[in-house]
Each structure stands twice: as structure tokens, then as C-alpha cells.
Structure 1
Amino acid sequence: MAELLTLEMKALVGELGELVKADPRNEAIRQAIDDYERSDELNALVAEYNAQQNALADLYATAGDKTPDEDVAKALQERIDLLYDTITSHPVYAAYMDAKKAFDSLTNGIIAELQYVITGERSCGHDCASCAGCH
């Protein structure tokens, strides 16, 4: 099977990779991932959230054709909602999401620029006002 990339392409991708690795957004996402993984508090919240989600799913699955106990289902859902709010407002989670958004913007920008170089056209945004309309 033929190589997908030429040696020259691989070299240029390697150079681009080094530039991305040196970008502060890369360091920020790496640090945010590390902080997320090391946060015992956040990981405990996520583990409980997943357990509560599974318990709710099991409640409905075991009910079969019957209606599950509404009080139990409501209590589980309320706990799930509280855990979700607690997780998403946790400073470590918020920092992770901010870093992820910034890094994703960087990588998406690289892909968009590469597509422009190849095709000569900018991709449409998600807002129809950004171009002449769909074709």
C-alpha cells in the first residue's frame, strides 16, 4: 500500500506540530487536563453523576412495561441535576472547558486554513450572514 503522505508532507506536518506544541493554548489544555485528572473532588462528583445516571437508567429498564417509582425517579433526577450544576460550575472543570475551547479553535483554524490553501475557498461559518448563502 502506498504511503498516504510524502516525506515532504510529513516534514511539514512535523513542523506544524512543533508550532502547535509550542503554542500557549497547547500548554493550557495539557495543564487543564492534568488538573482535571488530579482533582479528587471533581472525579468523585463525576463518578457519582455517572452512578446516578446508571441508577436512573436501570430504574426505567427494570420497570419494563410498568411505570417506575416516580418518587425514586424524581429523587435520582434531582440529584443528577444538582451534580451536573456542581460539576459544570467547578473551577477545575470551567478551566478545562475554557482551555479546550481555545485549543479546539486553534486546531479548527489550522484545518480551515489548510482547506483554504488547497481549495482556494473559505468554508462557510455556521451563520449564513458570513457568506453569500448556501449553494
Structure 2
Amino acid sequence: MDIIEKSKELGLLIRDSEELKKLRECETRLLADENARALFSDYNKLQSELYKAVQIKSDENTIKELEKRISEKEQEIYINSVAKQFLDAKKVFDSLVRNVNSVIMYFVTGEEPCSPEKCSGCKSGCGNLNR
């Protein structure tokens, strides 16, 4: 049993998964929808502006205004059905990948997979509470 061969098998299973198929379908629809693309583009620009504002230590009002605009843009994204479907599909696929990784880590380390309920005593720094 070769680890690389098993990795290839796992990669093929993930490639052929319903989760990835759904994500790719939603991504295709997203790329074809000018409005949805513009929403994500605007959101990314606002995120970059906020990052820069924090880096140069802009005043608090500027940062709060950018955070407000980002929040409003997030709401616009979730109102757009194409964008929402993409984000929902991405969330499901990302969950699959996290679960696969948790199973692998369990068998490598013998430790139970991470969960939000166990974070109080965990020092792994995985950021699970922020997911």
C-alpha cells in the first residue's frame, strides 16, 4: 500500500464528489453573471482598502466606515441568488475538505478531530472558533 497511490485515490474521490461538482457548477454560473462578479470584485476591493487602512493606522472613523461598507456589500452578496449559491456550495465543499483532513490527522496523531466544543482547552491555533 503506497501512500502516494492512496493520495491519488483520495484526490480522484474528491474530484468526483458531488460537493466539488456542485461548487464548479455554481462557479460557472457566478462567472457568467456580471452582477455577481461585480459584487465580489467590489467586496475584494473594500477588503483591500480596509487592510491598507489598518496597515497605515488610519483614523478609527475611516476604518469603521470601511467595515460598514464591507458589511453592506456582504448583505448585497447574500441577496444575489447566484452569489449565495456559490458561497453555500463553497462552504459545503470546504467542510468536506476539513472533515477529510480531520480524519487523516486523527489516524496520524490519534487525537480526536477538532470541534468548536473542544476549543476551550485547545492550543492548536487552528482558528476553529472563527469559522
Q: 1:80 to 1:126 in 2, by over 3 A?
A: closer
Q: Deviations over 1:14-65 (max 9, x none)?
A: 001111111100101111111111111212334455667788999xxxxx99
| Structure 2 unaligned residues grouped into runs of 5+ | 53-57, 123-131
Computed over aligned residues only, the root mean square deviation of the Cα atoms, in angstroms, reads: 3.7
**Does 2:12 align with 1:18?**
yes
Which residue does 1:107 correspond to in 2?
97
Which residue does 2:76 correspond to in 1?
86
Deviation at 1:124, TM superposition (A): 3.1
Which residue does 1:119 correspond to in 2?
109
Which residue does 2:127 correspond to in 1?
none
Contact 2:102 2:114 in 1 (8 A): no
Structure 1 counterpart SS, 2:36: helix
How many residue pairs match? The answer is 116
Q: Distance in 2 between matches of 1:77 and 1:128?
A: 30
TM-score, normalization by structure 1:
0.64
**Does 2:3 align with 1:9?**
yes
TM-score, normalization by structure 2:
0.66
Q: Distance in 2 between matches of 1:121 and 1:54?
A: 38
Percent of paired sites with the same residue: 26
Which residue does 2:27 correspond to in 1?
33
Q: Quick one: which of 101, 109, 121 aligns to 1:134? A: 121
Contact 2:20 2:93 in 1 (8 A): yes
